[in-house]
């Protein structure tokens, strides 16, 4: 059954009717501006669908008492970065007994920490580029960024951040110290990952099924923050120009990653197809962007699900989980 057909079956019962829907967005992270765009787009779409929408713009003071005072029946999470994708908001909403979209606190925290996520992927036999991690204290103990044993080409990135903030492709050894310092602006631990040359792909997971594969063609070196949100030269090919066999492999890899991390209802898995045809998982996003440039809505549209329908589908899934007894 297609995603659109499954959504129509759910919507016939209209479980969202008369419910107060809270769209939570903003937050204190470096990705606040992206979250504000995502949240406003979601709020407008749900309002256009005739839903009762309450905009909840967060800073960092959200707690169980505040959550209960909102008097909402279900929450759509349009948060990105810390205090959104790291499991803390999910813990608060669980304690307040408010259903919410996306993964629970454990999967959110696991996927957000790139070191823990890498370890989980490797345990499950999922290809991911070779890596090392360093925390701020270890870097200082070794003698600073200049003393790290970094052999290009590599990608240096924060261990807990999104939207490609603080990410640098290091092609020459003398670029490494600046790349380390840049990554440390977004957290206390960095990841140094082997650079994989190839085609940049992403696969959204909706429910427990993969969406069409998207290929990213960027004007710059890689799909960085500017390419994601600001550069109109970025081109998205959906579905990606892959053979049926490769499409199935990319989607199977994404679904395996989604399950290995314990994700629920929605994720977006970023990967590289290398020159030998292997698919390498870079990272998983448990609360994918919902802006006009974002990839999950593009993939859902290719599968026959409009933006408003996508938002409603995720809310319906959240309500289904709330009605299912824990085992």
Annotated active-site residue in 25, 100, 134, 229: 229
d(CA 19, CA 230): 35
Annotated catalytic, 138?
Answer: no
Taking CA 288 as the corner, what is the angle to CA 286 and CA 294, rounded to the nearest 5 degrees? 165
Annotated catalytic, 63?
Answer: no
Annotated catalytic, 31?
Answer: yes
Annotated catalytic, 270?
Answer: yes
Annotated active-site residue in 270, 309, 312, 317: 270
Neighbours of 266 (CB within 10 A): 25
Annotated catalytic, 119?
Answer: no
Taking CA 53 as the corner, what is the angle to CA 313 and CA 42, rounded to the nearest 5 degrees? 55
Annotated active-site residue in 22, 25, 26, 31: 31
Q: Are 166 and 157 in contact (CB under 8 A)?
A: yes
Cα 260 to Cα 61, 107, 133, 228, 278: the distances in Å are 32, 9, 21, 26, 19
Annotated active-site residue in 88, 268, 273, 317: 268
Q: Are 118 and 131 in contact (CB under 8 A)?
A: yes
Residue 89, H or E segment: helix 88-95
| Six-digit token string for 156 | 């240096």
Annotated active-site residue in 40, 200, 265, 283: 283
Question: What is 8-73 written as a DSSP string?
Answer: HHHHTT-TTTT-EEEEEEE-SSTTHHHHHHHHHHHHHHHHHTT-EEEEEEE-S---HHHHHHT--S
Give the strands of the sheet with 189-194, arranged side by side.
Answer: 131-135, 189-194, 154-158, 168-170
Annotated active-site residue in 29, 160, 163, 294: 163
Secondary structure letter of residue 175 according to DSSP:
G
Nearest to 164 by CA among 204, 198, 131, 191: 191
Annotated catalytic, 133?
Answer: no
Annotated active-site residue in 289, 309, 313, 317: 289
Annotated active-site residue in 51, 285, 294, 312: 285
Tell me the catalytic residues: 31, 163, 229, 268, 270, 283, 285, 289
């Amino acid at each position: 059954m297609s995603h659109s057909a499954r959504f129509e079956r759910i919507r016939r019962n209209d479980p969202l009717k008369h419910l107060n829907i809270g769209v939570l967005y903003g937050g204190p992270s470096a990705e606040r501006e992206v979250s504000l765009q995502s949240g406003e787009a979601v709020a407008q779409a749900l309002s256009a669908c005739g839903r009762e929408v309450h905009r909840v713009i967060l800073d960092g003071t959200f707690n169980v008492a505040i959550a209960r005072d909102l008097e909402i029946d279900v929450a759509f999470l349009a948060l990105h970065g810390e205090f959104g994708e790291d499991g803390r908001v999910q813990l608060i909403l669980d304690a307040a007994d408010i259903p919410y979209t996306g993964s629970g606190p454990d999967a959110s925290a696991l996927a957000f920490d790139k070191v823990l996520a890498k370890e989980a992927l490797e345990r499950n036999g999922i290809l991911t580029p070779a890596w090392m991690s360093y925390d701020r204290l270890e870097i200082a103990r070794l003698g600073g960024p200049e003393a790290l044993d970094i052999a290009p080409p590599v990608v240096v990135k924060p261990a807990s951040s999104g939207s490609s903030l603080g990410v640098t492709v290091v092609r020459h050894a003398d670029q490494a110290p600046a790349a380390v310092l840049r990554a440390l602006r977004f957290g206390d631990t960095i990841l140094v990952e082997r650079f994989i040359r190839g085609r940049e792909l992403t696969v959204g997971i909706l429910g427990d099924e993969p969406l069409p594969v998207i290929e990213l063609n960027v004007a710059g070196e890689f799909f960085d923050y500017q390419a994601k949100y600001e550069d109109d030269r970025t081109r998205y090919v959906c579905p990606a120009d892959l053979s049926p066999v490769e499409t199935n492999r990319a989607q199977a890899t994404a679904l395996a990653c989604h399950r290995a991390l314990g994700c629920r209802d929605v994720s977006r898995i970023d990967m590289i197809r290398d020159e030998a045809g292997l698919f390498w998982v870079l990272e998983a996003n448990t609360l994918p962007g919902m802006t006009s440039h974002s990839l999950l809505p593009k993939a859902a549209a290719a599968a026959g699900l409009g933006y408003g329908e996508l938002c409603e589908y995720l809310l319906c899934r959240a309500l289904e989980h709330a009605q299912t007894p824990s085992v």
